[in-house]
Structure 1
């Protein structure tokens, strides 16, 4: 059942915590099983430090079992050879069940990751459901091709599933990111082995139970919780995995490319780090609206977003007015109890990550950056995982704070005189995931869009999107695309058939 956030109080959400049951084992070949070694690891609530459950810690042997199950399922053909309409119906049933159990999934996500319940319930779970429905409805509408060959021949081109797809997903949007990998892979007829981040395994294990109840054949979906250097590496090196999709850090993305080269040259799609530039020019059409959107673009989800607008590049003519509006908007993101429906910013994923974020800010301050708001970890809350909205002014693009992905609620302010200087600063980064431009001049907007080295460029918007629009990066932000029909490129082969008539 789905409830309204505003209709459910903090005490009611807290009461539901005790009623929630978590899956604790891996999901392999249609059933929940402990790891082969018997080892487990703690999945904890970042907002309190409380251990929620001890989860199976999978390693190479468990990955071998999961991949073998996926391969058997693919070869048996109950799913891979089912009609697109049949696969559509099962995926739509899963989406219906996800919608019906939205409260449980949202609560699981909030407890496991520390994000506000208002976001889990109104953003994360609905986005996961939409993703499933979109690919379910798309798969029986993807046509093949007839190539323009000479008279006397017929050449067809069609998409075929690769076989076993591995997916490794991050902890910031566990359910949503999992669906962007699972939905196109399953819709195309593949079998999947997916590893959730060790910080956030619970919603994906819950989803495995739901998919089983919906009638997904056994072995088609396998979930192997564990650590990257164990389960993740094993998936990257496995010779029976034909494609691997990863979202996470650039360093790990590079490792998966090496694993593919060292094993079977599997297809690899990567959505990695970002340091997205948010460019606000003097002729910004609505300063207050742009300031509110810019604040949300860095402080939503505690700043733990790959395409967060973490570099504000503002033209000098409106700098002071814009910063005033931005700081006012930032104050709306005061951290609080994630189960409180009024909370807009929850906990960072762990005390270690909070210390990392704080370290970046401390070093920037010593290098000459000026803190306009925030800048110190919050005390007095349950766990050492709460960090306030932070804005740093007088930042140079040479500073670590402006070049490294912080993955926290920290905004760097850089001031420019011209649009050309703004583009130069924006492109002076090893990342190329996204960028935004705020201007009322259409010619300026499109000249800048053409010059910006980013997979997505927003004009008079930021962090907007739709399932129909591909998402991914350039440079060290990765390769391949999630979302849209282009995601099928990651999980299918093009197969040509030549017939002499």
Structure 2
């Protein structure tokens, strides 16, 4: 029996999208010095949403200067208790405007409204609440009795979780007493610009948060600016390496949260229905646009056929389509460029001999779409098992023993996350110690909490975000 769902679209009326947006510098929206602009596009429909100002060298100079003034004159002199009040105020406004933020995120990014409403925006508010609580307790964080902020933080965030990555960066920076210049991704700037309005609504002192929009060149100008004391970046390993080279030999502090190719490991004693849900959540959540996605499924040979059959049956129930429909499980791919990369690497997987399968699903005529896809017959030499696809594509491998599972899981240049599915607590602990990954989930996947640190090893970057550990990057001690 196949259930059909009537459309249940979320109204766009809650969101007002302006035809154009300027840069947010020193508490005000302002035009780019050059007058350059680019377009933000709805990936589900390809409609142009707004013209966005493109920041150049003069604009980045102005933003960094505004952040420095705010740091020297106001923010670094303010008590932690008073800084915390601003963070609490921002958190409450985010909660009050949660529906507006969720709808705008889904329009600009392509992710299902169910995810932006139930996962992203609540976590954004939670991060601001959490770090608001730390603002007056920094001497007790374990980083010295007199921890001090670095000064001006230059932050560059990706397009997969635009608002959540903003919260991960801005909340701890402000709590620690730094001021911020943030560059959102060029394909998803709208919620960052709405956050700028929230800063105004919260009466945050001008210059404490500045937002400069643009593409890679704008990010490079920010990272390399001599007035920036701390650099935080989330994005591709390739760009992360370029940033590390650019800041080498300077006094800048750097944290990098980069790519991943996580192993999701299912043992024969795992609760298989629960594991299948975890597999689906691990790779198809947010269209697979997740750096810690469980894109490599390692299944013990004795349950391989059973797991694969259950997984295919479950994928047949996933609904692909309108991100604003509350029934949608998989939304639009964020951009035409990302869609092309997913297609290219999937074609390579087939050409190298892996077997490709997708459930029957109708894709919309307009927009950027890719069906949930599973590859079997995958070896560790396949590119689809080694390279980050960043899309709804799962590679399935097998193993016989726990030692083999560890060896295959660790056979990657990345080290961001992993998942273990088993009934044995002792095996979970043993596997967690063996796996070279910053986060290991046990009998779950993609669970986040503002109190818990997140970050990777090897080519997945260095530094931690979230939790008490997330303060360390923003404090000199």
Whether these two folds match at TM > 0.5 is yes
- For 1:194 and 1:94, the matched residues in 2 are separated by 17
Q: 65-74 or 442-451: which moved more?
A: 442-451
Aligned residues: 472
Seen in structure 2, the aligned counterparts of structure 1 residues 489 and 9 have a Cα distance that, compared at 3 Å, is same
**C-alpha displacement at 1:9, in angstroms?**
4.0
Seen in structure 2, the aligned counterparts of structure 1 residues 65 and 20 have a Cα distance that, compared at 3 Å, is closer
Secondary structure of the corresponding residue to residue 178 of structure 1: helix
- 8 Å CA contact 1:303, 1:407 repeated in 2: yes
- Map of 1:181 onto structure 2: 169
- Map of 1:60 onto structure 2: 57
- 8 Å CA contact 2:158, 2:234 repeated in 1: yes
Secondary structure of the corresponding residue to residue 38 of structure 2: strand
Alignment of 1:52-131 (within 5 A): 52-76=49-73, 78-131=74-127
Alignment of 1:343-362 (within 5 A): 343-362=328-347
1:430 correspondence with 2:413:
yes
Which has the greater radius of gyration? 1
Secondary structure of the corresponding residue to residue 205 of structure 2: coil
Alignment of 1:144-163 (within 5 A): 144=140, 157-163=145-151
Secondary structure of the corresponding residue to residue 466 of structure 2: coil
After superposition, give the CA deviation of every residue in 1:268-320 in whole Å (9 maximum; x if it has no partner): 10100000000111111x10011111111100100000100000000001111
- Map of 1:227 onto structure 2: 215
- 8 Å CA contact 2:232, 2:255 repeated in 1: yes
Selected match of 1:201 from 172, 186, 189: 189
Secondary structure of the corresponding residue to residue 437 of structure 2: coil
Root mean square deviation, CA, Å:
1.9
- 8 Å CA contact 1:299, 1:333 repeated in 2: no
- Map of 1:3 onto structure 2: none
- For 2:35 and 2:17, the matched residues in 1 are separated by 24
- 8 Å CA contact 1:205, 1:223 repeated in 2: yes
**C-alpha displacement at 1:434, in angstroms?**
0.5
- Map of 2:317 onto structure 1: 332
After superposition, give the CA deviation of every residue in 1:86-130 in whole Å (9 maximum; x if it has no partner): 111111111111111112111111111111112111111111011
**C-alpha displacement at 1:367, in angstroms?**
0.9
Selected match of 1:241 from 211, 221, 228: 228
- Map of 2:137 onto structure 1: 141
The TM-score with structure 2 as length reference comes to 0.95
**C-alpha displacement at 1:441, in angstroms?**
2.0
- For 1:209 and 1:372, the matched residues in 2 are separated by 45
Selected match of 1:283 from 258, 269, 285: 269
**C-alpha displacement at 1:43, in angstroms?**
0.5
- Map of 1:498 onto structure 2: none
- Map of 2:178 onto structure 1: 190
After superposition, give the CA deviation of every residue in 1:239-290 in whole Å (9 maximum; x if it has no partner): 111101100000111111111115x330010100000000111111x10011
- For 2:8 and 2:269, the matched residues in 1 are separated by 43
- For 1:487 and 1:97, the matched residues in 2 are separated by 23
**C-alpha displacement at 1:217, in angstroms?**
0.5
- 8 Å CA contact 1:43, 1:198 repeated in 2: yes
- 8 Å CA contact 2:421, 2:442 repeated in 1: yes
- For 1:119 and 1:144, the matched residues in 2 are separated by 35
**C-alpha displacement at 1:15, in angstroms?**
4.5
1:341 correspondence with 2:326:
yes
- Map of 1:271 onto structure 2: 257
Secondary structure of the corresponding residue to residue 36 of structure 1: coil
- 8 Å CA contact 1:161, 1:491 repeated in 2: yes
- Map of 2:383 onto structure 1: 400
**C-alpha displacement at 1:388, in angstroms?**
0.9
- For 1:390 and 1:336, the matched residues in 2 are separated by 15
Seen in structure 2, the aligned counterparts of structure 1 residues 220 and 15 have a Cα distance that, compared at 3 Å, is closer
Seen in structure 2, the aligned counterparts of structure 1 residues 435 and 210 have a Cα distance that, compared at 3 Å, is same
- For 1:14 and 1:207, the matched residues in 2 are separated by 18
- 8 Å CA contact 1:292, 1:325 repeated in 2: no
After superposition, give the CA deviation of every residue in 1:470-489 in whole Å (9 maximum; x if it has no partner): 10000000000000011111
